[in-house]
Structure 1
Amino acid sequence: MLDMADGARLAVGLVERIGEETSRLAHTPLATDGAKREREERIADHAAALKAVSEELAADGLGLDSPELAAIGHRVVHGGQKFTQPTVITEEVVAELEKLVPLAPLHNPANITGIRTAMGLRPDLPQVAVFDTAFHSTMPESAARYAIDTATADAHSVRRYGFHGTSHAYVSRETAKLLGKDPSEVNVIVLHLGNGASASAVRGGRCVDTSMGLTPLEGLVMGTRSGDLDPAVILHLSRNAGMSVDEIDSLLNKKSGLIGLCGDNDMREIRRRIDEGDEQAALAFDVYVHRLKKYIGAYYAVLGKVDAIAFTAGVGENAAPVREAAVAGLEELGLVVDGDLNAVRSGEPRLISPEYARVAVAVVPTDEELEIATQSYALVSA
């Protein structure tokens, strides 16, 4: 929960392991400087999770019945081509979101459940959907189209949508601020590196290319996702390994990426293993960085002129070796990292390139919750 007067957090928390035998709810009431509270119990589904969160907020005087509550913002993963802006939710909007479930079967159903539950708890309050795909909707057709039969693509909504849009929007804007410029004056390559990872090329505040595609599987090597691969790999595994569509889906989304290469998807553990001489961990790191460097080069070419590269999310913000390796050897492109600046750990946006560097290299902590709240509040207060 955020106070939009100054963006301050009034409460933070999360619910995890929803639907498992023992779920966990963590809640910290920042407005009252209260201690963190945790509950471990079975929380059956996302509707029950939201109701449990509402109870915790109410216990601190921040309940969903508060007259000061202006709106509830919802992250919705896939907006397709229809939703390219934050949208006040109506029954008609929910019906359209249900039509988009085939494009995001693991995410949109849970998003819709959260929306319906919140609408039931506060039917009088504006509910706003903010879409992960929206920031990337400005990509030109040359970047958004796959080179397959157009009629087939259009009939089945097959195109590149991109994800992590709220993060890319926030970080590109904050990077411009860090440089003391307006977003319209800056070209930025944003590298959102977490368990899920994506890159974007942002020209003057508008996305012109991004690494994820129809789904979040395309692009960079991720914690458990393969990223880019020859589509014929899927056909090969089906024909020669006898794998079903569901088995291949599980392989590429849950058993690939870093965990597929070395058995770990935590970059801290991978670096520890490398320091101990583990060759498999070193290979996984090298594959990860090789793909990352390819996208930096590709998006440099797309933009033509780059003012900054911004690292963000869990790995991007905290893994100095990844940042160093990603730009190593790219000095001719104006990319240099200062070792001392790169080693500093901070929760603040900061430059890690030396003053003489032609292209700024930055670490910019992302804040997707603030971005969702900002977009939601701007819409309902307009």
Structure 2
Amino acid sequence: MSARNILVINCGSSSIKFALVNEAQATFPLQGLAERLGSPEAVLHWQLGDEKQSLEIPGAAHLAALEQLLPLAQEAAGGKIDGIGHRVVHGGEHFTGSCLITDEVLAAIRANAQLAPLHNPANLIGIDAAFALFAELPQVAVFDTAFHQTMPEHAYRYAVPEFLYKEHNVRRYGFHGTSHHFVSKRAAEMTNLPVEDSCWLTAHLGNGCSTCAVVNGESRDTSMGMTPLEGLVMGTRSGDVDPNLHSYLHRTLGWSLEQIDRMLNHDSGLKGLSGLSNDMRTLYEARISGHPGAMLAFEVFCYRLAKSLAGMACALPKLDGLIFTGGIGENSSAVRSRTLEHLKLFNFKLDEQANARCTRGVGGEIQAAGSPRVLVVPTNEERQIALDTLALLDV
């Protein structure tokens, strides 16, 4: 049987990230981004092999962008696409794994939209558009939350009245599941450990950030909660704050819930602390130049990350290694180094040369002799979505 091709689609409210994944090829034959959809500046960027191109598609919405994508994907796939994998952010308690999309699945994704109002509706737009264009192809939903459905109740329940959980789904769900799943499995392969007998601390660090405790291939705890706002300091998200901050800001400043929500999600994190940027690369340069806000943002980010990793260790029976991944985790040797300095009780020690080498897609072990393992593992959420899709095609 010839190697199969899966088109992976990740829809945001005004964007589509996409990749064609061939099960026999290490690199993607086609990948790209449609952005600013619905605006006069809508544009489609793609890379076919080594060739990069762009096409302006003024005013195009998701369906129109996918109509432009189809011939590109078909050409790159040699005329044969075998299935489509969709990233869906929130599966609630309905979904403990990826699944073929049916009318019932679509209804459940819509029902969970109240738990992820910025994400699930956008994911549904992409699914509806893909079905309009590829009605004959099997399509699979891969949920950010599904990997964390193995968390025990004592890890996912909030200490609030039970009816809020039973009747209104108030609990911790976790996100970045495809990334934590992929890198923990990959780390086991890199270290010749069986996935079913390995324990990892994972740190997915990008504009969104989360940590996870992975035991024998399953999530046991994670830092994000009912929404992606809980947990670590992120690019523009605050992470953990005192829950009474909402009432304090309402009483003292007269802010509405919408204003507070916007501030915590879009004006906080690295951006809020630094007063400069949500981009760690910019902050790193500014920190070297002595910018006080950048220095503070860097220190708070690393300290809070170390605190979270130390807390996640409560869920592990043993520690086979700590994994850094995501745009910051894979590229910032300074973040890795400073974070481990805060974890002295774990006796982590870095090989500084190995740490400096791991950037721009280069992974590997970066610990010094005598230290517990520390790995940089480039994530590949598109490939994990494709693997989940292929597994369901084989059923």
State the TM-score, normalized to the length of structure 2.
Answer: 0.91
Deviation of residue 88 (structure 1)? 0.4
Q: Could you tell me how far apart the structure 1 residues matched to 2:61 and 2:246 are? A: 33
Is 1:352 aligned to 2:372, yes or no? no
Any residues of structure 2 matched to 1:1-382 within 5 Å, and which? 1-30=20-49, 33=50, 35-58=51-74, 60=75, 62=77, 66=79, 68-262=80-274, 263-346=276-359, 347-357=361-371, 359-382=372-395
Deviation of residue 153 (structure 1)? 2.3
Deviation of residue 5 (structure 1)? 3.1
Deviates more, 1:12-21 or 1:184-193: 12-21
Letter in 2 for 1:20: S
Q: Could you tell me how far apart the structure 1 residues matched to 2:96 and 2:314 are? A: 26
State the Cα deviation string for residues 24-43 of structure 1 (Å, max 9, x = none): 2111112xx5x211112324
Q: Could you tell me how far apart the structure 2 residues matched to 1:56 and 1:47 are? A: 15
Letter in 2 for 1:40: E
Deviates more, 1:332-341 or 1:111-120: 332-341
Structure 2 residue ranges without an equivalent (≥5): 1-19
Q: Could you tell me how far apart the structure 2 residues matched to 1:43 and 1:154 are? A: 43
Deviation of residue 235 (structure 1)? 1.2
Q: Is the 8 A contact 2:22 2:28 kept in 1?
A: yes
SS of 1:28 mapped into structure 2: strand
Q: Could you tell me how far apart the structure 1 residues matched to 2:380 and 2:282 are? A: 25
State the TM-score, normalized to the length of structure 1.
Answer: 0.94
Letter in 1 for 2:383: L
State the Cα deviation string for residues 41-93 of structure 1 (Å, max 9, x = none): 324322222222224334x3548xx3x32210000000010111111001121
Q: Is the 8 A contact 1:7 1:370 kept in 2?
A: no
Deviation of residue 326 (structure 1)? 0.5
State the Cα deviation string for residues 123-173 of structure 1 (Å, max 9, x = none): 111000000000000000000000000112221111100000000000010
Q: Is the 8 A contact 1:86 1:375 kept in 2?
A: yes
State the Cα deviation string for residues 230-275 of structure 1 (Å, max 9, x = none): 1100111122211111111110000000001112111111111111
Q: 1:340 to 1:313 in 2, by over 3 A?
A: same
Q: 1:121 to 1:228 in 2, by over 3 A?
A: same
Q: Is the 8 A contact 2:326 2:379 kept in 1?
A: yes
Q: Could you tell me how far apart the structure 2 residues matched to 1:269 and 1:251 are? A: 21
SS of 2:137 mapped into structure 1: coil
Letter in 1 for 2:41: T
Deviation of residue 6 (structure 1)? 4.0
Deviation of residue 21 (structure 1)? 2.5
Deviation of residue 356 (structure 1)? 2.0
Q: Could you tell me how far apart the structure 1 residues matched to 2:389 and 2:147 are? A: 14
Deviation of residue 178 (structure 1)? 1.3
Structure 1 residue ranges without an equivalent (≥5): none
Q: 1:75 to 1:43 in 2, by over 3 A?
A: farther
Q: Is the 8 A contact 1:135 1:207 kept in 2?
A: yes
Q: Could you tell me how far apart the structure 1 residues matched to 2:93 and 2:234 are? A: 26
